[in-house]
Amino acid sequence: MDNLKEELKKHIIEQLNLEDVRVEDIADSDLLFDQSGLGLDSIDALELIVLLEKFYGIQVTKPEEGKEAFRSIETMAQYIRKRKTAV
């Protein structure tokens, strides 16, 4: 199991108040902003940016940059790893 991904799911559920969702409900490849996935919206995307800064010290200065990174748990984890190693 990938710890970062599990941790991310936990943070997302908490930060976005997804009360009816459990960690095991989210697959790594689920499209976060699609109704087939978590059905998140534009404000959720901004909260994900806050989450990245709060828990991983990563600053996203352009929301468009987040768009690609926030497609799924998979892409978010990749993005975090990339940004962390770049520092």
Partner 1 sequence: MIYIGAEEMISPLGNDAKATFSAVSEGLSGISLVHKAGLNQTDIHLATIPGLTVSRAFENLIVAILKLVANNVDPDTVASDRTLVIISSTKGGLKDSIADPFADVADTILQEFNLAHQPLIISNACISGVLAINTAGNFVRSGHYDHVIVIGCDVISDFVIYGFQSLFAVSDKPCAPFDSGRAGVTLGEACSAVVISNNPQIYRDRPYSLLIGTSANDANHISGPSRTGEGLYRSVSRTMAQNGISPADIDFISAHGTGTLYNDEMESIAFDRLGLVDVPLNSLKGYFGHTLGAAGVLETAVSIQSMRNGLLLKSMGYIEKGTSVALNVIEESKNTQIRTVLKTASGFGGGNASLLIQDL
Partner 2 sequence: MSFITTYCHITDRNCYLNGKLVASFDPGSSDSWLKQLYKFNNVTYPKFYKMDTLSQCGYLASEFIKASNPDRFTSYADDRIAMVFANRCSSAESDIRFQNSYEVLQTPSPAMFVYTLPNIVIGEIAIANKWYGENMFAVLPKFAPDFFINYAEILFSSGSEAVLAGWLDVTEVKVNAFVILLEKNTGGIKSNIVNLTELIEEAFT
Tokens representing residue 72 in the block: 């799924």
Q: How far is the CB of 44 from partner 2 (least distance, A)?
A: 7
Which position among 7, 28, 30, 47 is part of the footprint of partner 2 (CB under 8 A)?
A: 47
Binding residues with partner 1: total (CB under 8 A): 7
Stretch that binds partner 2, among 2-10, 46-54, 66-74, 78-86 (CB under 8 A): 46-54
Q: CB–CB of 68/83 below 8 Å?
A: no
Shortest CA distance to 51 belongs to which of 28, 86, 79, 29?
A: 79
Q: Residue 57, by phi and psi: left (phi above 0), alpha (psi -120 to 50) or beta?
A: left
Chain residues that interact with partner 2, rule: CB under 8 A? 16-20, 39, 43-44, 46-47, 50, 53-54
